[in-house]
Structure 1
Amino acid sequence: MKRIAIFASGSGSNAENIINHFSDNEQVSVELILTNNPTAGVIERGNRLNVPTLIFNKKLFTKSDKIVELLKKQEIDWVILAGFLWLVPENLIQAFPNRIINVHPALLPKYGGKGMWGHHVHEAVVANKEKESGITIHYVNEKYDEGKVIFQAKCEISDIDSPENVASKIHDLEFLYFPKVIENEVLKS
C-alpha cells in the first residue's frame, strides 16, 4: 500500500477529489492532510472524510525537521500539493526525492513562480489575451514551479472569458486529471 499525505492551504476541493478517487483503492490511500492555514476549508473536508489533519506554522515547516519526521513516522510514501502556497523546504524535498507532486493552474513555464497562484494566474492569462491555458502537474524541486513536468492539459480561452471563467475551466481540468496522474506516478514507483 502506497501512503499519501496532501498539503493544502485553501478550500480543499482538490484534496477532497483526490481522497474520493483513492477511497476504494487497495494500492493507494490518503493518510494525512497538512495545512499551514488554521481557517482552511480543507480542515472541515478532512474531518468529514475521516482523514487526520495537522495544522503547522512556518517555523515548524521551514526551520525544523518535525514535518519530515512526522511523515516518516506515518510511513508516507508520496506528498501531494493541492493548492499549497509555500515553497517546499530542502529537507522535505531531500526526504521525498521525485515523490512530491504539485498541480499548477497554468501551462508552465508560463505564469509560474512566486505569487503566481489561483486568481493571480487567471487574471494574468486574461490580461495577456492568451488563447489557451491549462494545468501543469509536475514534480516539486527547491524553486517555485520549476520541477520536471509530468503532464499538461489545455483548454481554450476566448476573448469574452473572464478570470472566473478561466478558473472554472482550469478547475475542471484539475478534477479530471490530477488524481489519475497521481495514481499513475505512485503505482509506477
Structure 2
Amino acid sequence: MLKMAVLLSGSGRTLDNFHERIEEGSLSASIEVVISNVQDALGLTKAENYGYPAYYGVNNEAINQIIANFDVDIICLAGYLKLYTPPARLQRAVLNIHPSLIPAFCGDGFYGSRVHRAVKAKGCTVSGCTVHFANEVYDEGPIILQKSVALDYDDEPSDIASRVFDAECEAFPEAINRVDELGIDFFWKRSGK
C-alpha cells in the first residue's frame, strides 16, 4: 500500500474520488497529507472533513517543508496547477493526471478547459486522460496509464470535460494501484529516462 501526499489547487474532486475508493477498498493507498497552494481551496475543507491533515503551502519550498513531516511514498498532483519540484528523495515519485492522451494537447499552458477547447477546435473524435510521472517539464514524465473516450461531433468542451473526468476517476486510482504493484522504477526504466 502506497502512502500519498495529495496536492491540489481547487475543489478537490480527485481527492473525493481517492477517498471514496480507499474507503471501498479498491485503491491500495492511504492519504497521509493534503496540501494546497490556494489558501481557501475547497479541497482543503474537504480534506479536513475526511480527517486528513490539510495545509496551505504557498510555494514548492513551503510544500516540501510540510511533506518532510510525513511518511509518504508518492505525491499525487490532483488538480494542482503549478509546476511542482519535489524534495530530492521523492524526485521520481510524483504522479500527475492530464486531461488528454499525451502527447496530444499537453505541455505548458494546456490544462483544464483549455485542453478540451483545443480538442473541440481540432475536431477530434477521441480524447481521454493520461496518468504519468511528473518531472521538471510539463507532461513529459513516463506514462503509467491512458484511457480514451469517444467523442461525438456535436460535443461541446463541457461535454468533453465531463467524459474525460469520468475516465480520470477510473484511471488515476488504477494507475496508483499499478505503481504499488510494479514499483516506481519499473516505469522510469521502461521509458528509458
Flag whether TM exceeds 0.5 (same fold).
yes
* Aligned-residue offset at 1:73: 2.5
Who is 1:72 aligned against?
Answer: 68
Instruction: Find the aligned partners of 2:11 and 2:173 in 1 and give their Cα distance.
Output: 17
- CA-based RMSD: 1.8
> Which range is displaced more, 120-129 or 172-181?
172-181
1:124 aligns with 2:118: yes
Task: Note the 1:135-154 alignment, pairs <5 A.
Answer: 135-154=129-148
Partners of 1:159 and 1:24 in 2: how far apart?
36
C-alpha contact 1:93 1:141 (8 A) present in aligned 2: no
* Count of matched residue positions in the alignment of Structure 1 and Structure 2: 182
Q: Report the counterpart of residue 56 of structure 1 in structure 2.
A: 57
- Cα offset for 1:186? 2.4
Percentage identity across paired residues of the two chains:
29
Q: Deviations over 1:12-60 (max 9, x none)?
A: 11111112212365963111111001221201211221111111113xx
Q: Which position in structure 2 is the counterpart of 1:82?
A: 78
CA contact (8 A) 1:107 1:136 kept: yes
Q: Distance in 1 between matches of 2:24 and 2:32?
A: 13
User: Which residue of 1 is the match for residue 32 of structure 2?
Assistant: 31
Structure 2 CA distance, aligned partners of 1:187 and 1:79? 16
Please give the TM-score of this superposition, normalised by the length of structure 2: 0.87
CA distance, structure 2, for counterparts of residue 93 and residue 108 of structure 1 = 25
Aligned residue for 1:44?
A: 45
Secondary structure at the aligned position of 1:73 is classed as coil
Indicate conservation of the 8 Å contact 1:93/1:142, yes or no: no
SS at 1:111's partner residue? coil
Unmatched tracts of structure 2, length 5 or more: 184-193
- Is 1:100 matched up with 2:113? no
SS at match of 2:118: helix
Aligned partner letter, 1:88: Y
Aligned-partner Cα distance in 1 for 2:110–2:28: 34
